[in-house]
Amino acid sequence: MVAEKENLKFTYPAQQVLIRIALCTNLGGIHAFTTIIGRSIPTARGLYYMNKLGRIPDNIPCVRPASPEGTVYPGAELVRILPVTPEPVIIDEKIVSKLLGEYKSHFPKEVGLDSK
């Protein structure tokens, strides 16, 4: 359903990697799966626009990240929301593997009791 609404196609190897991620808690399980799906869509769209147009379109909607009332976060930037592409965008295993690596880099490291 996501593929149809977002005009995406996942390669078969990418589908297999995503299934393995969703079913394996050591890889992050369903949380990693949803995070990687959510990040792969704008990544693939960005690659599409850079390859086809050589740039990101100028007239795309922007949102500012939410912050609690009365607080200001230095460097808070506008987030651009890339529109659905006119042609299907391919998400391959290279994109999925790269995003899995980024996701896993945020895992806490296990430290043995013997190492100090």
% of residues, the chain, pLDDT over 90? 33
Per-residue pLDDT, 94: 94
Give the β-pairing of 8-10 and 62-63: unpaired
Return the axis-axis angle of helices 93-104 and 12-23, rounded to nearest 10°: 30
Per-residue pLDDT, 112: 58
Residue 104 or residue 94, greater confidence = 94
CA distance 19 to 16: 5
DSSP code of 8? E
3-state class of 75 per DSSP? coil
Of 35-39, 79-83, 88-92, the least confident: 79-83
CA distance 64 to 6: 22
Q: Could you report the per-residue pLDDT of 52-87, keeping only the tens digit for each?
A: 888 888 788 777 666 667 676 665 666 778 888 888
Pair of tokens at residue 81? 């929301």
Helix, strand, coil % over all residues of the chain, rounded to 5? 50, 10, 45
Per-residue pLDDT, 28: 84
What's the pLDDT band for 27 if we cut at 50, 70, 90?
A: confident
Residue 67 contacts residue 73 (beta carbons within 8 Å): yes
Per-residue pLDDT, 58: 79
Domain ranges in the chain? 2-104
